[in-house]
């Protein structure tokens, strides 16, 4: 029973979450009820969680996308420039933001499929490139790096306005919808099997008739578009958009995916894990305000948590490879080790 | 069945990459229910030959035939569609995926409707376990187990069972026993025999003469891209085959030379001669 739970890729993230909460309650003196009713960490979890979902799928397929850091401000700025500065109907701002995501995602994906350049480098290039495009474009079109926007009520209630009467944002609802959708795709549909296979061994996946290239492009489109979606929601919520580097977002999102149990080299991970990973990351980052601990320590906690989660992921994966259901207890010490080694040699 | 056309045949195939000739005048054939062993040392052109058979490379000259009819594979998919399955050392298995998911990667059974088609895990697991057990791997009974937890021999067996299930007629096994221990290798050899019994044409690539002799009906020795010898089961001894693979040098003489040198040089082997 226990080993069955530990086999799940989400195990480490659930334990991380429990550990962080326990630490905050015992050491930090957090009032759990107060923390649970607060919106700040949940809003933040949703903001990084929406992007972490497709990034996690992409990482399971064996690739990575760091251009998401530029795509969040790109989505926000596109929305504000189109519907704020040029005063076009809101729908054009929304479509514009999503369109920018699709375009940049397609560029990333096509480059990843057509060249032998590692996707870390490709998306580093598009990250820096898009930062330039957004800043220069904003200056050129509006003469400023900060653009105001007045969103109509319908847009506010779909993408921005606070629900539950408090300070919770609609992105939380979107996050849950996306999480369910991605869960279905990864764990229930055949496409999920393709994604795992691509991350396990790309060449074998191709030989098995899986449309590896098409799937890769599609996943890159999803990461970039989800990032521009988050940016758009932000612009609508706060009635303005600023040019920013988005560097923090990159590391926060990738860190939450790793805490969520996704293997950096691909082939392993889960949507529940990624979901809990984002939640955990947000609680560490924002929950520290509810503790007696100086918030400047939060980065240290994140560092420790990352290492702990990484180590847990590694050992749980061994458990998953070796023990399986526990029906067969034939010792196989070298087989899993060899399998993992071979896996990471790719 | 010597009268019927061979399942897969190569006639006078040359393969060059630019100015470099890798394969010269390769002619071979493999029949139903027969194991053709392709023997050769490293660099003998075995990989290029496999890749040509499985559609990764196209012959520069010469022709390939299936059931006596000329075929032209432009992509590996073309070869697969004709029923040629290639299984590499760990090929086609994903260590961090379950047996059921591995078995059906790219051809998943689904149930449900429209966009809500669901991967039928139960069905996939049941078929995968059944097929693998049919090949005599009785240790596997849970389709949810991760493949990385299986032994090398079991993984090979899974890959072979998968190929057979999806309608392979020709099985190309690329060094299936190279990374395995004695017991695991015996395991894989049994599976090769089972595939043969079921009427598949098997091309078995190896440099281990013992393994080849355990299952082979027909042997082809490859040296520097050309066929150096071609004989049937029982026509040559193990020593003769090993000598052939070493390029005509007698292995026994070579071993004697090295031992003699080591005796006079404080146990050091001789330096390489170029």
Mutate to test the interface with B, among A183, A191, A208, A265 (most CBs of B within 10 A): A208
Q: For residue B39, which of B252, B273, B245, B182 has the smallest C-alpha distance? A: B245
With contacts defined as CB-CB under 8 Å, which chain A residues touch B146? 320-321, 324
Taking residues B204-217, what's their average pLDDT? Answer: 88
Q: What is the dihedral of CA A170, A172, A178, A182, to 10 degrees?
A: 180
Strand ordering across the sheet containing B8-17 = B20-30, B8-17, B61-66, B69-71
DSSP structure string for A176-194: HHHHHHHHIIIIISHHHHH
| CB–CB contact A197 B105 (8 Å) | yes
- Judge contact between A101 and A225, C-beta under 8 A: yes
Chain B residues within an 8 Å CB radius of A197: 94, 97, 101, 105-106
Contacts with B148 from chain A: Cβ below 8 Å: 321, 335-336, 339-340, 343
CATH topology classification for A2-344: ABC transporter involved in vitamin B12 uptake, BtuC (1.10.3470)
Q: What is the DSSP string of A245-273?
A: --HHHHHHHHHHHHHTT--TTSS---HHH
Q: How many CA atoms lie within 13 A of B258 on its CB side?
A: 10
| CB B239, CB B35: distance < 8 Å | no
Residue B77 CB partners (closer than 8 Å, separation 6+): A209, B55
Q: Is the pLDDT of residue B191 over 90?
A: no
Q: Are the Cβ atoms of B97 and A193 closer than 8 angstroms?
A: yes
Sequence-distant (≥ 6) Cβ neighbours of residue B234 within 8 angstroms: none
Instruction: Among A189, A197, A320, select the one facing B146 at the smallest CB separation.
Output: A320
Phi, psi of A147 (to 5 degrees): -125, 130
Question: Cα separation of A214 and A203, whole Å?
Answer: 14
> pLDDT at position A228, please?
96
| Helix axis angle, A40-60 to A190-200, nearest 10° | 70
For chain A, domain boundaries: 2-344
Are the beta carbons of B146 and A324 separated by less than 8 Å?
Answer: yes
CA B187, CA B150: separation in Å to the nearest integer?
13
CA distance A251 to B250: 62
Please indicate whether, in this complex, the C-beta atoms of A267 and B144 are within 8 angstroms of each other. Answer: no
Domains located in chain B, CATH noted = 8-236 (3.40.50.300)
* DSSP secondary structure code for residue A145 in this structure: S
Total beta-carbon pairs less than 8 A apart between chain A and chain B: 111
Looking at per-residue pLDDT, the higher value among A291 and B34 belongs to B34
b/e code A195-215 from CB counts within 10 Å (16+ = b): bbbbbbbbebbbbbbbebeeb
The mean pLDDT value of chain B amounts to 85
Of B108, B147, B149, the CB nearest to A193: B108
Question: Is A327 within 8 Å of B146 when comparing Cβ atoms?
Answer: no
Taking only the tens place, the pLDDT of each residue in B113-156 is 887 889 999 999 999 999 988 887 778 888 888 888 888 888 88
Using one digit for the tens of pLDDT, what is the confidence trace for A179-220?
A: 999 999 999 999 999 999 999 989 888 888 899 999 999 999
| CA–CA dist A109, A103 (Å, integer) | 10
pLDDT tens readout for residues A255-277: 999 989 898 888 999 999 999 99
- Chain B interface residues (partner A, CB cutoff 8 A): 76-77, 80, 86, 90-97, 101, 104-108, 110, 116-119, 139, 141-142, 144-152
- Asked whether the predicted pLDDT for residue A329 surpasses 80, the reply is no
ipTM, interface predicted TM-score of the complex: 0.78
Q: Please answer yes or no on whether A324 and B91 come within 8 Å at the CB atom.
A: no
Residue of B nearest to A181 (CA): B116
């Amino acid at each position: 029973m226990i080993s069955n739970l530990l086999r799940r890729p989400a195990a480490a993230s659930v334990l991380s979450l429990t550990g962080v909460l326990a630490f905050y309650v015992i050491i930090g003196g957090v009032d759990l009820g107060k923390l649970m009713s607060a919106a700040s960490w949940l809003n933040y979890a949703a903001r990084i969680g929406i992007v972490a979902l497709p990034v996690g799928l992409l990482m399971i397929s064996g690739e990575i996308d760091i251009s998401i850091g530029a795509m969040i401000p790109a989505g926000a700025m596109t929305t504000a420039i189109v519907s704020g500065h040029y005063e076009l109907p809101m729908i054009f701002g929304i479509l514009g933001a999503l369109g920018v995501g699709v375009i940049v995602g397609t560029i990333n994906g096509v480059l990843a499929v057509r060249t032998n350049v590692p996707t870390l480098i490709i998306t580093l290039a598009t990250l820096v490139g898009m930062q330039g495009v957004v800043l220069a474009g904003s200056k050129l079109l509006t003469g400023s790096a900060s653009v105001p926007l007045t969103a109509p009520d319908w847009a506010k209630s779909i993408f921005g306005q606070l629900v539950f009467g408090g300070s919770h944002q609609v992105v939380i609802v979107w996050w849950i919808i996306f999480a369910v959708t991605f869960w279905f795709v990864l764990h229930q549909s055949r496409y999920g099997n393709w994604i795992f296979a691509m991350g396990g061994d790309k060449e074998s996946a191709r030989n098995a008739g899986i449309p590896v290239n098409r799937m890769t492009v599609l996943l890159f489109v999803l990461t970039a578009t989800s990032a521009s979606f988050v940016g758009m929601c932000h612009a609508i919520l706060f009635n303005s958009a600023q040019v920013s580097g988005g560097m923090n977002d990159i590391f926060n999102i990738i860190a939450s995916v790793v805490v969520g149990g996704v293997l950096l080299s691909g082939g392993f991970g889960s949507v529940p894990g990624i979901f809990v990973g984002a939640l955990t990351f947000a609680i560490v980052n924002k929950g520290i305000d509810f503790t007696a601990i100086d918030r400047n320590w939060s980065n240290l906690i994140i560092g420790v948590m990352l290492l702990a989660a990484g180590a847990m992921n590694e050992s749980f994966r061994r458990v998953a490879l070796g023990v399986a259901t526990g029906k067969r207890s034939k010792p196989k010490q070298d087989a899993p080790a060899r399998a993992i080694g071979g896996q990471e040699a790719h | 069945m010597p009268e019927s056309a061979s399942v897969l045949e190569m006639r006078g195939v040359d393969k060059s990459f630019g100015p470099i000739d890798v394969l010269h005048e390769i002619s071979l054939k493999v029949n139903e229910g027969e194991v053709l062993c392709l023997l050769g040392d490293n660099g003998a052109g075995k990989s290029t030959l496999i890749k040509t058979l499985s559609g990764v490379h196209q012959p520069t000259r010469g022709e390939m035939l299936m059931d006596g009819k000329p075929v032209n594979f432009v992509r590996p998919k073309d070869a697969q569609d004709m029923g040629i399955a290639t299984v590499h050392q760990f090929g086609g298995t994903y260590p961090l995926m379950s047996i059921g998911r591995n078995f059906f990667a790219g051809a998943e059974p689904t149930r449900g409707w429209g966009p809500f088609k669901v991967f039928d895990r139960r069905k996939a697991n049941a078929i995968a376990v059944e097929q693998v057990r049919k090949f005599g791997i009785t240790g596997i009974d849970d389709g949810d187990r991760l493949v990385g937890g299986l032994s090398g021999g079991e993984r090979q067996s899974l890959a072979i069972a998968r190929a057979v299930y999806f309608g392979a007629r020709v099985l190309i096994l690329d060094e299936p026993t190279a990374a395995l221990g004695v017991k695991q290798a015996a395991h894989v050899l049994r599976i090769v025999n089972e595939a043969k019994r079921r009427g598949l044409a098997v091309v078995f690539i190896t440099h281990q003469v013992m393994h080849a002799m355990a299952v082979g009906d027909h042997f082809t020795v490859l040296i520097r891209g050309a066929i150096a010898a071609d004989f049937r089961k029982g026509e040559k001894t193990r020593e003769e085959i090993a000598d052939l693979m070493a390029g005509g040098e007698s292995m026994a003489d070579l071993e004697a030379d090295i031992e003699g040198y080591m005796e006079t040089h404080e146990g050091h082997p001789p330096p390489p001669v170029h």
